Structure 1
Amino acid sequence: MIPFQLQSYIAFFALWAFKTNCLDTFIAAVYEHAVILPPDNIKLDSREEALALMNENMDILEEAVISAAKQGAHIIVTPEHGIYGFIFNRVNLYPYLEDIPHPKVNWTPCTDDSRFGSTPVQKRLSCMARNNSIYMVANIGDRKSCDPTESKCPSNGYYQYNTNVVYDSEGKLVARYYKKYMLMNEAQFDTPTEPQLVTFDTTFGKFGILTGFDILFHDPVVPLVEKLKVDTILLPVAWMNTLPHLYPTAFHAAWAMGMRVNLLVANIHSISNQMTGSGIYAPDSVKAYYFDKKSDDGKLLVSELESHPIVRPPVNWTLYASSIKPFSSEQEEFKALVLFDMFTFKELINDTGNYTVCQNTLCCHLSYKMSEKRTDEVYVVGAFDGLHIAEGEYYLQICTLLKCLTTLIETCGQPVENASTWFDMFSLSGTFDSPHVFPELLLSGLQIAPTEFEILSDGRIINQNGTSAPVLMLTLFGRQYEKTKPPNASVDLETTSVMMITMFFVLYSTIW
């Protein structure tokens, strides 16, 4: 037995060595992958056919890993569904799954691939990381057997999880995360009973893991950032280009700023599925981003980040808005849907103005000056304060300035990609109940512009020098993470789902 004093020395020198090797900055990489799909999405593949498809995708991912490593990257994130694409029922998914153990087993699949049965996918991913001395994040499917006689056990005798795995630079499995919040077309996966708080430490910071729309919910987001104090969130996604407020690059840049952490987002690149938009985001800037709905090619992004980003003081998002009197205006209010939420709007009728629009407890104040008031474009200021039920159920408070699709106010809130109206200045604020507010600016041509506005400590998003392109959308997206749905509230989800799918394709058929 090692004497206690010697144990103390060993622990001290181990801690000293770790701190000595810690990096102030690191090189991050994300890869937006144009995933190769099965010949048809509902075909029942054999294990051999499934492996053949996954190896085709991993061939491409490996090229990205090698390229990132040559550029000095310490970590690379690849997309959700990036290895086998989109499979829409439990039976078709099964041949693509492997049993993924908990990281506590201390396992390096690259050098010990038979320890947990047949794991060729995990072995290859582990070897990609090991052979290139890089941390690698990938999204695959886990299966866990259960007793078919148990009421919660699926009929095929397995739980199936949408899973992120992380391998360190030696190829060791250091993290496994199960996606919690599924969309309507993800019935092939089971939902873990409780959200998981998965982190891992490196010499270049502390990392947390999410998948897709998990980023919109209190658990695991708030505990990861505010309790466990992660420096960087890793986010593989298959995220649609959902205009206006959940447009991927604009929202993810705003989220990193609002939560004050680094965010690495790797999206699928699938034009036919309206998916593109990846990025490397710091709390104070966008380091790199990619959006291209014309090319069929994937894209590797590489950039340097602070290992421990300096956390600026929190913003009091309601201070200014609650301290002023509402702006008086005789302009009539009207209602219109934005992503299935009923907003209260007022139209901007002059080239300069001050407006207040309220819904429930939220009042939004806008001051602005246009270079000119065009007759062929309509802009509105709007407020939404309520329960959002589209891709999940959660409470929002949103203040927004939007360009309408046409000069008809009935089209306000529908997807718009281009504008011609220039703003010389703007100031937007709101009486938010939550400290979690994400500031978004989207310009004509779907350009994000995180450096073209300022967030004041009193909760205003302002610009006093004009923007580099006409404005499509200016938004303060408030997420009431702490507010939950009342127990007696009821929503006809089946009817709502049908309505949402129908409306979604009606809306997007106008621009795609």
Structure 2
Amino acid sequence: MRYLFVAIGALLFHYGLAYKAAVIEYYSESRDTPSDTILKNLQNYRTHIEKVRDQGVEIIVFPEYGLTTLVQDPEEYAIDLANDTKIKTELSDMAQEHALYIVVNVLEKSKEDGSTTKYYNTNLVFNRNGDIIAKYRKINLNNEPKLTPGTELVTFATNFGVNFGLFTGADILHHNPSRSILEFDNVTDIIYPTAWVSTLPFYSSLTVQRGYAQANGVNLLAANYAKAKDGRGGSGIYLYNGKYPEIYIDSSPSSKPIVQDVTKIDRRQKPTTCSSISPQGLPIPDDKPKLADFKTLKKFDASDYTFKDVDLSKEQVSTTVCHRQFCCNFNLTIAQPANTAEFFKLMVYSGKSTLADEEQNIRVCSLLACKDNSKDSCGERASSTTKFIRISIGSQVESDNTTFYVPLTLNNDLRPIKETSYCEQSDSNNATYIQLNTYRTQSEVLVFGIYGTSAGSSDVNAAIRHSTFILLLWLVIAKFIVL
């Protein structure tokens, strides 16, 4: 009888407007041996699945490294998917017994080229019948020297009518796969297991997750590894319109299931209309997380950035700030009287940045809270009482397929700012105007801005010139070969 109700529920959701999903912020347990560690975490996974299945969940997502803990040497923890393994069988049985989709992260070993064994950070998707229907190998590794990067984009379809894309951890900061996956027109929702370390001011976990969903008009299911003392944690379910039904971050060493209905969309709803009008969506919870023991790192060389002080005694602040050829327009309305003992700065940057020993080309324009009047104090965890009636930040950028932008917002409680709208408007002159607005008064603002990552050079024209040079060089070589 139970499975009859499960089947009926699945049909209703298939033809309905939503599906029910669960993501698990998971505190991974370690035991004396790799085998015991994995088996213990498998047991915990089963407990979480049994709990959420009673709530009608159709798909559940576990985080990166949840089964194995954060290990540097994958050899004793890795499984060979080409052969029957106890781990694979256990996961298959769970999916089949509870009739739901399960997404898990494993360390995989594969014997290739005859005798070489390679190791991968791999996500597996099990369907309701317990079959593996998708396997994704992480492309952009992050301090994982003994692993081999994957090369393939992966999508999968479900019988509740939703097509998912899949990537992991640091992948979300890279054009491939986080934007490449969106070239599949039918992908509307993203599965995102991660073991993210929050790094201020630009790379806090919930900010990165919500920014990706909001900028790309997709639903995002993000499950993070919980280890607050190392700065790991922060999970959520995010809707395509920038709303987040539930997110979680806390400093307690425990696991947390997040269960929510997720609105189905026929196609991605990329925001193209710039407005200060509140988008429609679900109400957002106001509960405050406990973060006293949550460690946040900081990686920010203020000397490289262009800053401008915000005069908090003024009700209106409107100005343009530039770094190199990248300029941003700032419009602030500040509630008066303001606390002029607090410090805020406007900041703009276009150039190189290094995260996790990997160099990227970034563009940032942001309002930052600072502990004092020094640039170096900006972007740290701070407590502010200044109320901003309105914040609007915009910039005109080149329309190209190499640089992508996301909203970047953060409160003192390490959660994204609730009431914001983001858009990208393109014109016929190969230009795009990007803009981020608030539509309600905001306090406790830590970071509010726009973050861009380039797949090539930070100077787009330089990248084009470089490509042209390579093409001409090959033409010359080809000419000599023919001769």
Q: Which residue of 1 aligns with 2:450?
A: 476
Q: Indicate the residue corresponding to 2:156 in structure 1.
A: 199
The answer (yes or no) to whether the contact 1:339–1:390 under 8 Å persists in 2 is no
2:321 paired with 1:357: yes
Q: Are the equivalent residues in 2 in contact too, given 1:176–1:198 (CA < 8 A)? A: no
**What RMSD in Å do the two structures reach over aligned CA positions?**
2.8
Which deviates the most, 273-282 or 345-354?
A: 345-354
1:473 aligned partner, one-letter code: V
- In 2, the alpha carbon distance for the partners of 1:488 and 1:100 equals 45
Q: Distance in 2 between matches of 1:144 and 1:396?
A: 35
User: 1:377 maps to which residue?
Assistant: 342
Q: Summarize the alignment of residues 34-433 of structure 1 with structure 2, pairs less than 5 Å apart.
A: 34-38=27-31, 49-89=33-73, 93-101=74-82, 116-117=83-84, 119-147=85-113, 157-183=116-142, 185-192=143-150, 194-284=151-241, 285-293=243-251, 295-308=252-265, 311-312=268-269, 314-315=271-272, 339-340=300-301, 342-352=304-314, 353-371=317-335, 372-391=337-356, 392-413=358-379, 415-433=380-398
Tell whether the 8 Å contact from 1:197 to 1:220 is kept in structure 2 after alignment: no
Residue type at the aligned position of 1:136: I
TM-score (norm 2): 0.79
1:218-253 CA distance string (max 9 Å, x none)? 222223213343111101000012222211112211
Residue 435 (structure 2) aligns with: 460
| AA partner of residue 40 (structure 2) | E
> Which residue number corresponds to residue 8 of structure 2?
none
Which is strand-richer, 1 or 2? 2
Deviation at 1:22, TM superposition (A): 4.8
- Distance in 2, matches of 1:464 and 1:241, equals 27
- Partners in 2 of 1:198 and 1:339 — Cα distance? 35
Aligned-residue offset at 1:97:
1.3
* Structure 2 counterpart of 1:27: 20
SS in 2 for 1:245: coil
CA distance in 1, matches of 2:450, 2:348: 10
Aligned partners of 2:330, 2:165: CA distance in 1, in Å?
36
CA distance in 2, matches of 1:314, 1:58: 40
Partner-residue secondary structure (3-state), 2:135? strand
Question: Over residues 86-137 of structure 1, what are the superposed CA-to-partner deviations in whole Å (9 max), with x where a residue is unaligned?
Answer: 1113xxx212111124xxxxxxxxxxxxxx24x0111111111111111000
1:424 Cα deviation (Å)? Answer: 1.7
* Residue-pair matches, total: 414
CA distance in 1, matches of 2:457, 2:195: 27
Deviations 1:155-208 (CA, angstroms, capped at 9, x unpaired) = xx310000000000111110111001111x31131123x343343343330011
SS in 2 for 1:187: coil
Contact 2:23 2:221 in 1 (8 A): yes
Deviation of 1:484 after TM superposition, in Å, equals 7.9
Q: State the secondary structure of the residue aligned to 2:397.
A: coil
Aligned residues with identical type, % of pairs = 24
Change (3 A) 1:463 1:219: closer
2: CA distance, partners of 1:20 / 1:461:
34
2:474 aligns to what? none
User: Within 1, Cα distance between the matches of 2:391 and 2:271?
Assistant: 22
| TM-score (ref. length: structure 1) | 0.75
Q: Structure 1 counterpart of 2:58, which letter?
A: H
Task: Report SS of the residue matched to 2:333.
Answer: strand
Contact in 2 for aligned 1:200/1:208 (Cα 8 Å): no
Unaligned runs of 5+ in 2: 1-10, 275-297, 426-432, 467-483
Q: Report the 3-state secondary structure (helix = DSSP H, G, I; strand = E; otherwise coil) of the residue aligned with 1:208.
A: strand
The separation in 2 between residues aligned to 1:383 and 1:136, in whole angstroms, is: 42
Partners in 2 of 1:454 and 1:309 — Cα distance? 21
